[in-house]
Structure 1
């Protein structure tokens, strides 16, 4: 979201979508942390987050390439967020309702 806000002339639709995905990612992270805490009480995540190799594409001087990179990023994040949400719901069902959903 910070990168999008820093882009001159970035379409409002891209900023809006980035904010929406950021909020969804925060919600999913909270859900994963809650489930992780139920599976392994008291455990803390120690693995670092993976590094994303697409950042240079978002910082290029070529405006068309930058917008294309943002579109691809948002598309992938949306798809991945949807998958994670589905798996979290399934896992939550299995943990809380003992597979009786």
Structure 2
């Protein structure tokens, strides 16, 4: 008897869910213009909840794909945005007599590393596009000219210390965003 009660309660829960589904766009439970409603079969009820579940999965899949694209785009924008400031920082270090060659070389190394990292992330994005993980819109939006601020004079006015602080913060963001992106796309590889 407990098994029968459980079956009835599951069927009742499915029926309640389906009646809610019918008010949200699923086919109505009352069919053929009949005056009274009839109880659908368990198979029909399952069909309705499966259809609703498929729609829900489709929406979540669309959002998940959009998240990957936007995260890739943010990473590329951060890397492109640092191109000019780091070059100006290197120039500033090279012309300051207070700093030694070590500081100037480190500034140049940071600038080169950002350039190389951006190229690497662009390759990752191309591979993701080729595999159908993200759309082709990311690469068209990631062109350096489109992503750089129109007035780069403000970067020259930034104090070196502030620039280094901001770069350190953004480089940490890029690293974390890349880790998140990797875990979302290839979770079986160390996440």
TM (normalized to structure 1)?
0.62
Q: Which runs of 5+ in 2 are unaligned?
A: 1-86
Q: Which residue of 1 aligns with 2:185?
A: 95
Q: Distance in 1 between matches of 2:93 and 2:113?
A: 18
1:7 aligns with 2:101: no
Q: How does 1:21-36 map to 2 (within 5 A)?
A: 21-36=110-125
Q: Count the aligned residue pairs.
A: 91
Structure with higher helix content:
2
Q: Distance in 1 between matches of 2:123 and 2:188?
A: 17
Cα 1:71–1:23, aligned 2, differ >3 Å: closer, same or farther? Answer: same
Larger Rg: 2
Asked if 2 retains the 8 angstrom alpha-carbon contact of 1:5 and 1:15, the reply is yes
1:84 aligns with 2:182: no
Deviation readout 1:53-73 (Å, 9 max, x if unpaired): 533416xxxxxxxxxx11211
Q: How does 1:57-72 map to 2 (within 5 A)?
A: 57=157, 69-72=159-162
Q: Which residue of 2 aligns with 1:18?
A: 107
Q: Distance in 2 between matches of 1:94 and 1:20?
A: 30
Q: After TM superposition, which residue ranges in structure 1, 4 or more long, deviate above 4 angstroms?
A: none
